[in-house]
Structure 1
Amino acid sequence: MKTIVIIQARIGSTRLRGKILKPVGDSNVLMYVTRRCSQIKGVQEVIVATTSMPQDDAIATWCLENNIRCFRGSENDVLSRFVDCAKEYEPDYVMRVTSDCPFVDYEMASEIVELMTNEKKDIVLIDGEQPRGLAVELISYQALLHINVAGKEERHREHVTYYAYEFENEFEAVIYKAPTNRNAPHLRITLDTEEDYALIYNVAKHFNNPLVSSVDVIQYLNDHPEVANLNAHIEQKPVI
C-alpha cells in the first residue's frame, strides 16, 4: 500500500498572514510539521502543496532549501491542488495534514496508516475528542478522485475531505478509536491567530524538541493552564 502525506500550505492566511514560516524552537512552524510527518510509519512521501501565487514563492524556496518535495497548484480550489499533486505519485492513500498544526500527532497517524493497511476502506473516521491541531485525515486516492468530481460546492473545494463527511453513505469508512490520553477537546494546539502563536511558541520553547510526543504536549498544557488559556477564547472559523 502506497501512502503519501500532502501538507497544504500557503502564506495568505486571513487571520495570521505568513504564520507557517513563523519561528518556533530552533526552526519554524513548517519545519515542525514536515519533520513530524516524516516520522509517520508506512508513509512513502511527504509533500508540501502550496499555491502558484507569487506570495507563496517563499514556501517553494523554503522547501527547495530544506530538501522537501513541493507541489504548486490552485490557491482557492484546494481539492484540485490535492488531486493534481497526488496524480504525480499514484498513491493508494493520501493523508491530509494542514501546515498550521506544528504538533500534529505522528504516533497516532502511524496507527491510522496501520489500520488502513489492514482494512483498506475509503476513509478513516476518528472516534475521540482530541485537541484541535493533532489529528490527520486518511482517504483513498480513488475516494479523493470521486470527491473531485462530485464535490461542486465551494466548501467541498476549499475543505478537501468535507464531501466525504457530508455524504458519508457514498464511502466505506473504518473507525479508529483514539487513545484516551489524547482526549482533551478543551485544548487548541493549532495556529490561526496571534494568541495561538503565543501558545505554540511557549510549548516549543519548553520542550525544545520538534518530535516531542503529542501526549507530552497535552500533559504540559493540562499542567500549565496559564499557557493553555492563552488561546482558549479563540473560536474556529465555521465551514460555510
Structure 2
Amino acid sequence: MKTIVIIQARMGSTRLKGKILKPLGDSNVLGYVTRRCLQISGVQEVIVATSTLSQDDVIVTWCKENNIQYFRGSENDVLSRFVECAKEYHPNYVMRVTSDCPFVDYEMASEVVELMTNEKKEILLVDGELPRGLAVELISYQTLLRINEVGKEVRHREHVTYYAYEFANEFKSVTYKAPTNRNAPNLRITLDTEEDYEVIYKIAEHFNNPLVSSADVIQFLNNHPEIVQLNSHIEQKPVQ
C-alpha cells in the first residue's frame, strides 16, 4: 500500500500572513511540520502543495533548499490542488496535513496508517477529543477523486476532505481510537494568530526538539496554564 502525505501551504493567511515561515526552534513552522511528517511510519512520500501565486514562490524556494518535494496548484480550490498533486504519485491513500500545525502528531499518524493498511477503508474517523493542531486526515485516493467530482460547495473545495466527513455515511470508514493522553480539547496547538505563535514558540523553546512527542507537548501545556491562557480566547474560523 502506497501512502503519501500532502501538506497544504500558502503565505496568504488572512489572520497571520506568512505564518508558516515564521521562525521556530532551529528552523521555521514549515520545517517543523515537514520533519514530523517525514517520521510517519508507512509513508512513502511527503509533498508540500502550495499555490501558483508569486507570493508562494518563497515556499518553493524553501522546499528546494531543504530537499522537500513540492507541487503548485490552485490557491482557493485546494481540493483540486490535492487531486492534481496526488495524481503524480499514484498512491493508494492520501494523508492531509496543514502547514500551520507544527506539532502534528506523527506517532498517532503512524498508528493511523497501520490501521488503514490492515482495514483498507475509504476514510478514517477519529474517536477522541484532541487539541486543535495534532490530528491528520487519511482517505483513499479513489475517495479523493470521488469527492472532487461530487463536492461542489465552497467548503468542499477549500477544506479538501470536508465532503467525506459531512456525508460519512456514503463511505466505508474505520475508526481510530485516540490515546487517552491525547485528549485535551481545550488546547490550541496550531497557528492562526500572534497569540498562537507565542504559544508554539514557547513550546519549541522549552523542548528544543522538533520531534518531541505530542504527548509531552500536551503535558507541558497542562503544567503551564499561564501559557494555555495566551490563546485560549481564540476562536476557530467557522466553515462556510
Fold match (TM-score > 0.5): yes
3-state SS in 1 of match to 2:135: coil
User: 1:136 offset after TM fit, Å?
Assistant: 0.1
Q: Describe the superposition over 1:128-180 as per-residue Cα deviations: whole angstroms up to 9, x where unpaired.
A: 00000000000000000000000000000000000011111211000000000
Whole-Å Cα distance in 2 between the matches of residues 237 and 36 of structure 1? Answer: 25
CA distance in 2, matches of 1:202, 1:228: 10
Q: C-alpha separation between the residues in 1 aligned to 2:229 and 2:124?
A: 31
Q: SS state of the match for residue 43, structure 2? A: coil
Count of matched residue positions in the alignment of Structure 1 and Structure 2: 240
Aligned residue in 1 for 2:149:
149
Q: Which residue of 1 aligns with 2:182?
A: 182
Correspondence 1:103-118 to 2 at 5 A: 103-118=103-118
Query: Does the alignment pair 1:202 with 2:202?
Result: yes
Q: How far apart are the structure 2 equivalents of 1:41 and 1:207?
A: 23
The amino acid that maps onto 1:73 is G
Which digits, 9 at most, give the CA deviation of each residue in 1:65-94, with x for residues without a partner? 000000000000000000000000000000
Counting only pairs closer than 5 Å after superposition, residues 131-142 of structure 1 correspond to structure 2 as 131-142=131-142
Q: Which amino acid aligns with 1:17?
A: K
Shift of 1:212: 0.1
Within-5 A mapping of 1:14-33: 14-33=14-33
For 2:184, give the aligned amino acid. A
Secondary structure of 2:192 counterpart? coil
CA distance, structure 2, for counterparts of residue 10 and residue 105 of structure 1: 21
Deviations 1:170-221 (A, max 9, x none): 1100000000000000000000000000000000000000000000000000
Query: Any stretches of 5+ residues in structure 1 without a counterpart?
Result: none
Letter in 2 for 1:186: N
Q: Return the TM-score normalized by structure 1.
A: 1.00
Q: What SS does the corresponding residue of 1:14 show, helix, strand or coil?
A: coil
State how far apart, in whole Å, the 2-side matches of 1:24 and 1:226 are.
20
Between the aligned partners of 1:148 and 1:169, the Cα distance in structure 2 is 17
> What SS does the corresponding residue of 1:230 show, helix, strand or coil?
helix
Q: In 1, distance between residues paired with 2:169 and 2:39?
A: 33
**What one-letter code is carried by the residue in structure 2 that aligns with 1:112?**
V
Q: CA deviation at 1:102?
A: 0.1
Q: Secondary structure at the match of 1:229?
A: helix
Give the corresponding residue for 1:166: 166
The amino acid across from 1:227 in the alignment is I
Structure 2 residue runs without a partner (length 5+)? none
The C-alpha deviation readout for 1:39-75, integer Å capped at 9, x for no partner, is: 0000000000000000000000000000000000000
SS of 1:49's partner is strand
SS of 1:174's partner is: strand
| Structure 2 residue 133 is matched with structure 1 residue 126 | no
List structure 1 runs of 4+ shifted beyond 3 angstroms.
none
